[in-house]
């Protein structure tokens, strides 16, 4: 059942209604199936549990991932907002810990395919959002499609999820290379997922592998290690229960790791306020649809 949103519940009372810059974090990977959606959902939940006002944008335009993972059945999505059939507020669905979810716009393949009226619609939709946010997490699709690069370029922070498979490192490198060479991004946050036995060392080893490849072929890329999330059967069980692991198994190893990573994210420098608002993210998103050198091969 679609859930009605109680905006007061979604906005704990200690929040002041002042315009603050929004931290926009795109979660990407190159390779599919490494855990982007689980990382997005659980990190968003962990941040929301610390009192942050969090919105999660399901930017996997082809598939409805986040709602499936959380057992939500939204009646409308971003597509209806773009077409002017709904306001953004009308399509928002409440997720764990009061976070707000923008369901995926299935039916749209690329930002660049949107009509000018739809661009105006999405900018208006986000700038008219009546409740302030601290963090916007963007769960992107796998691959190097231009919708993925558009979302990464528009975000202030790109988190690349890797796991211990050769294809994961290769594809993460391919993503970083495209974002760096074609779009000028220089800084990437690296999260190691599905490491064995809560082993930070395995995460660090994966990180160093990626640093080695990037150092060799890309001159001005800076990678920062965010931390590791263990392979955790309880996370899989939570997925089966259509819940975030933060809620289903709060003391599981994965939930602990997400809480640690959320507290590290909280210490990252905030974007400068002049260009930090949500509407600038959306403007950058729309603009980035047009000057991609060419659509990446599917």
- Identified binder of ligand ATP from the candidate list 21, 30, 35, 121, rule CB under 6 A: 35
| CA 51 – CA 10 distance, rounded (Å) | 10
Residue 239 touching ligand ATP (CB under 6 A): yes
Q: How far is the CB of 1 from ligand ATP (least distance, A)?
A: 23
Residue 194 touching ligand ATP (CB under 6 A): yes
Scanning 6-14, 17-25, 36-44, 150-158 for contacts with Mg ion by CB under 5 A, the matching segment is 36-44
For 15-44, b where at least 16 C-beta lie within 10 A, e where not — what string?
eeeeebbbbbbbbbbbbeebbbbbbbbbbb
Q: How far is the CB of 135 from ligand ATP (least distance, A)?
A: 19
Give the residue from 224, 227, 228, 252 showing the smallest Cα distance to 238. 252
Count of residues in contact with Mg ion, rule CB under 5 A: 3
The one of Mg ion, ligand ATP, none whose footprint includes residue 239, by CB under 5 to 8 A per kind, is ligand ATP
Residues 3-32 that bind ligand ATP (CB under 6 A): 29, 32
Tokens 């000028």 correspond to: 184
Residue 259 touching ligand ATP (CB under 6 A): no
Vertex 56, ends 128 and 82: CA angle to 5°?
45
Q: Which residues pair with 24 in a beta bridge?
A: 136
- Beta carbon nearer to ligand ATP, 156 or 244: 244
Scanning 89-97, 149-157, 235-243, 268-276 for contacts with ligand ATP by CB under 6 A, the matching segment is 235-243
Q: How far is the CB of 106 from Mg ion (least distance, A)?
A: 13
Residue 176 touching ligand ATP (CB under 6 A): no
Scanning 74-82, 88-96, 152-160, 226-234 for contacts with ligand ATP by CB under 6 A, the matching segment is 226-234
Burial environment of residue 13 by CB neighbours within 10 A (0 to 12, 13 to 18, 19 or more): exposed
Scanning 37-45, 202-210, 217-225, 269-277 for contacts with Mg ion by CB under 5 A, the matching segment is 37-45
Binding mask 38-77 for ligand ATP (x = CB under 6 A): x---------------------x----x------------
Residue 65 touching Mg ion (CB under 5 A): yes
Residue 33 touching ligand ATP (CB under 6 A): yes
Residue 236 touching ligand ATP (CB under 6 A): yes
Count of residues in contact with ligand ATP, rule CB under 6 A: 20
Residues 125-154 that bind ligand ATP (CB under 6 A): 142
């Amino acid at each position: 059942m679609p859930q009605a949103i109680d905006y007061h519940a979604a906005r704990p009372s200690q929040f002041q209604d002042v315009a603050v810059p929004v931290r926009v974090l795109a979660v990407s990977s190159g390779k599919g199936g490494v855990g982007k959606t689980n990382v997005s959902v659980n990190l968003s939940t962990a941040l929301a549990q610390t009192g942050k006002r969090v919105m999660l944008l399901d930017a996997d335009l082809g598939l409805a991932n986040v709602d499936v993972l959380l057992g939500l059945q939204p009646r409308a999505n971003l597509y209806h907002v773009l077409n002017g059939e709904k306001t953004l507020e009308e399509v928002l669905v409440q997720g764990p810990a009061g976070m707000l979810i923008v369901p995926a716009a299935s039916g749209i393949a690329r930002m660049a395919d949107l009509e000018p009226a739809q661009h105006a619609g999405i900018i208006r939709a986000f700038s008219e959002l009546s409740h302030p946010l601290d963090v916007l997490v963007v769960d992107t699709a796998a691959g190097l499609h231009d919708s993925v690069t558009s979302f990464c370029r528009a975000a202030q922070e790109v988190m690349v999820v890797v796991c211990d498979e050769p294809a994961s490192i290769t594809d993460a490198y391919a993503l970083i290379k495209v974002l760096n060479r074609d779009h000028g991004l220089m800084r990437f946050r690296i999260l190691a997922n599905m490491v064995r036995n809560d082993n930070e060392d395995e995460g660090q080893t994966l990180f160093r592998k990626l640093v080695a490849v990037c150092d060799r072929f890309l001159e001005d890329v800076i990678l920062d290690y965010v931390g590791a999330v263990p392979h955790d059967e309880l996370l899989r069980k939570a997925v089966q229960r259509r819940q975030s692991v933060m809620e289903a198994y709060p003391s599981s190893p994965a939930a602990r790791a997400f809480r640690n990573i959320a507290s590290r994210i909280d210490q990252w420098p905030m974007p400068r306020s002049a260009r930090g608002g949500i509407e600038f993210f959306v403007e950058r998103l729309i603009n980035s649809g047009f000057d991609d050198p060419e659509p990446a091969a599917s």
